Structure 1
């Protein structure tokens, strides 16, 4: 029988892994570092302080990793003023997500070496710079160099160590304590590269910019977008016209994002029998229904005044769709584990809700500032 204390520790860790990522949009660097540390120690906590079998936790652990990385990406929509840095980080995020999806389908560990998680450390680099500088001082060449250095000297060695060689750093140091000196020397080398990259930046500003700007007065996600001051070429759509279309660039990215997340989750969930085509169709239905609901509210003069209210309503809608899918799938030789699917649908709904809200901020900020093209020319 499972001890009550074991369950309390288990759910405390799981809830921490669910709630701490929600701090990333407001406190990007502390939030992502806390997630990174908790991800590294959660199973150690279970092994030291509980007698729980951990076989079933592995799937949830992977899903929670993807969950916090997705919120990390969404926070760049909310916060990042350097448009080229955002575009580069978005590429790194989707590149990793595609790699994880392929890995979950074929289970070849070297794939994770080909698709390293450069995204997360590039995010940490940008936010570390933001502590003391305006990130717009990072030119295109510096950003590409930073991403390349992280890819080659941080992530490829780490992915090889963890996923290909499957070595444990603690055991490696225990076997030969002098190995710790190798790690210290390598850390010093990485710090030296960081100094070389940032050595010619302007003088630092006083204090530390730990928190991102609040968005209490920010525009709501479902509201029409204010047109950019620039002249729109003949025949081109304004941002407002595109937003009012049911299928637009925002919806297409949401379909791609949630499809990849769902394919990954589907390989992790127990007893999933839906194939990838069925999953893609189901995701498209989810996103279009959610978007149609927001558009219907907008046309009737109602908007999401609270991100919490939007999440609650969309969760109810999406869970209703899951219950319908659970009823229909057996007719097409498919099935799902309803309890696990409802848990993961909450994660997906939260990501959709944050995407809608932060995408609106991203478009408005860069349309109004007009800084994007100037940064990309550097």
Structure 2
């Protein structure tokens, strides 16, 4: 029988990993660093303070990783003033997401080396610069150089160490304490590269810009009483296409790591297609009836109810076709997905408003 204190600790960690990412849009650097640290120590917490088997946590761990990285990307829609940095980071995010999806389908660990998580560290680089400078001082060449240095000297070694060699740094140092000197020297090398990259930036501004600019209200879009043919055509625009891609990749990843799933690829693809179509149509319908801040909770509640209904219907129908899902875990992952969709709808509006001239040029 599972000890009550073990379950309290388990759900405290899970809820922390669910709630802390929600701080990233307002406090980008502290929020993402807190997520990064918690992701690194959560299993250590379980080992030290509980007797829970960690195998059951793996699916939660992977899905919460995707969840917080997606919110990190969505925060760039809300906050980033340097449009080229945003576009570069968007590529890095989707490149990694595709890699994770392919890995979950094939279980080929070297793929994680081919598709490194450069996105997260590039985000940290940008937000670190924003502490003391206006990020618009970052030129295209400097941004590309930063991404390349992070890719080659930070993420490739890390991805190889963790996912290919499958080594543990603590054990490596414990086996030979002098190995710590190698790590210190490499850290000094990385700091030297960082200094070289920012050495010619303009003088810093006073203080630290830790918080992102507050959003008083999203731009209000009045209800459209009548939609003509031209307006109907606009329902399929770049935003819709991106959201379909985003939802598809996240759903593929969640479906593969979902414990207790017994369904064919066709059944999963059908469920995913239904989810995408209904969510896209519903979010458009809601967006056309006003996007002021009061509607964000309404959209989340409505989308959650719809998605939960889809999952319940899927749970009811699958046994008729020799399939099954773990209902509780599926509902948990759908909640994460729904929150990502809601934030995308919200922040995409702000991104288009803030970069309307640059996007149109």
TM-score (ref. length: structure 1) = 0.89
Structure 2 residue aligned with 1:131: 131
- Judging changes above 3 Å, is the alpha-carbon distance between structure 1 residues 327 and 174 closer, same or farther for their aligned structure 2 residues? same
| 1:74/1:358 contact within 8 Å kept | yes
- Judging changes above 3 Å, is the alpha-carbon distance between structure 1 residues 194 and 299 closer, same or farther for their aligned structure 2 residues? closer
1:161-219 deviations in whole A, cap 9, x for unaligned? Answer: 11111111111111111111111111111011011111111111100000001112222
| 2:283/2:345 contact within 8 Å kept | no
Q: Tell whether 2:200 aligns with 1:200.
A: yes
1:282-301 deviations in whole A, cap 9, x for unaligned? Answer: 33432332333344446667
5 Å-filtered alignment, 1:293-308, equals: 293-297=282-286, 305-308=294-297
Tell me, in whole angstroms, the C-alpha distance in 2 between the residues paired with 1:300 and 1:24: 27
Structure 2 residue aligned with 1:336: 325
Instruction: Give the alignment's Cα RMSD to 1 decimal.
Output: 2.2
5 Å-filtered alignment, 1:146-185, equals: 146-185=146-185
- Judging changes above 3 Å, is the alpha-carbon distance between structure 1 residues 215 and 276 closer, same or farther for their aligned structure 2 residues? farther
- Judging changes above 3 Å, is the alpha-carbon distance between structure 1 residues 223 and 185 closer, same or farther for their aligned structure 2 residues? farther
5 Å-filtered alignment, 1:1-378, equals: 1-219=1-219, 245-297=234-286, 305-367=294-356, 370-371=357-358
| 2:218/2:349 contact within 8 Å kept | no
| 1:246/1:288 contact within 8 Å kept | no
1:312, CA displacement in angstroms?
1.3
Gapped regions of structure 2 (runs ≥ 5): 225-229
Tell me, in whole angstroms, the C-alpha distance in 2 between the residues paired with 1:72 and 1:300: 27
Tell me, in whole angstroms, the C-alpha distance in 2 between the residues paired with 1:372 and 1:246: 18
Gapped regions of structure 1 (runs ≥ 5): 226-240
Q: How many residues are aligned here?
A: 356
- Judging changes above 3 Å, is the alpha-carbon distance between structure 1 residues 215 and 279 closer, same or farther for their aligned structure 2 residues? farther
Tell me, in whole angstroms, the C-alpha distance in 2 between the residues paired with 1:34 and 1:323: 34
TM-score (ref. length: structure 2) = 0.93
Larger CA deviation: 151-160 vs 259-268: 259-268
Tell me, in whole angstroms, the C-alpha distance in 2 between the residues paired with 1:122 and 1:7: 36
